[in-house]
Amino acid sequence: MSSWNTILYSVPLLIILLVRGCWLVCVEVPSDTEALHGTNMKLTCISCMKREEVNTDTMVEWTYVSNDGKEISIYEYNGEPRELKGPYQGRILWNGSKDLQDVSITIVNVTLNDSGLYRCTIKRYFNYEMHRPSLTDVKEVQLTVHEDEMIYCYRKILKSEEAAQENATDYLAIPSGNKENHSTVPVEE
């Protein structure tokens, strides 16, 4: 009977440990890609760390890539967040987390000129005694800024209607064999 008691008391402890372990999950989510002129836009960049990467120094660089391929550094994190001089100065806020898995930024008061490709580069330097290997992760966000709220809303509604239509056709499909061989049932009043 004593072994059953041990098992019964061990199961709740095991469940508690499993649930606590689940709280430490990092989920990489894509950034929104459309913004309305004059609003604030968060550019999401999440790079989950593995257990062996916890003891690292992290450096982050955000760049804007122009249509001709020229890269403009707009923000960096190297021990602390730092806004860089240039066209985005005074318009970027750091949204990163303390553990530096989320290294997102927000562009304040987006303009049509802010449309384009943004690149988030995360470099992690491991703190080992003998050597210092590194790991680089790059995320990209293609941002489109819309001038008119009506056009922006119309496009969002159109996308959701197209998705709903695709889902509805899955349920409304009638096999072609049933279309020809159905019989008419009289309706009594």
Residues 158-167: tens digit of each pLDDT: 677 776 776 6
pLDDT at residue number 139: 95
Q: How confident is the model at residue 55 (pLDDT cuts 50, 70, 90)?
A: confident
Task: Average the pLDDT over 95-109 and give the result.
Answer: 93
pLDDT band at 53 (very low <50, low <70, confident <90, very high): low
Q: In the structure, what pLDDT confidence band is assigned to residue 2 with cuts at 50, 70 and 90?
A: low
Q: How far is the C-alpha of 142 from the C-alpha of 33, rounded, in Å?
A: 6
Q: Where are the domains of the chain?
A: 26-168
| Segments in 61-175 forming alpha helices (H) | 149-172
Specify the CATH class of 26-168 in words.
Answer: mainly beta
Quick one: pLDDT at residue 66?
84
Q: What is the maximum span of the chain, computed from C-alpha positions, in angstroms? A: 91
Give dist(CA 132, CA 125) in Å, integer.
Answer: 6
pLDDT value at position 150?
Answer: 57
Closest C-alpha to 41, from 89, 107, 88: 107
Highest mean pLDDT among 45-59, 68-82, 172-186: 68-82
| Alpha-carbon gap, residue 165 to 158, rounded angstroms | 10
Say whether pLDDT at 59 is over 80: yes
Give the other-Cβ count within 10 Å of 110's Cβ: 20
Q: SS3 of 82, please?
A: strand
Contact 146, 96 (CB under 8 A): no
C-alpha dist (Å) from residue 75 to 24, 38, 57, 107: 28, 20, 17, 11
Residue 51: is its pLDDT beyond 50? yes
pLDDT band at 84 (very low <50, low <70, confident <90, very high): very high
Two structure tokens written together for 43: 């550019």
Looking at residue 25, what is its pLDDT? 65
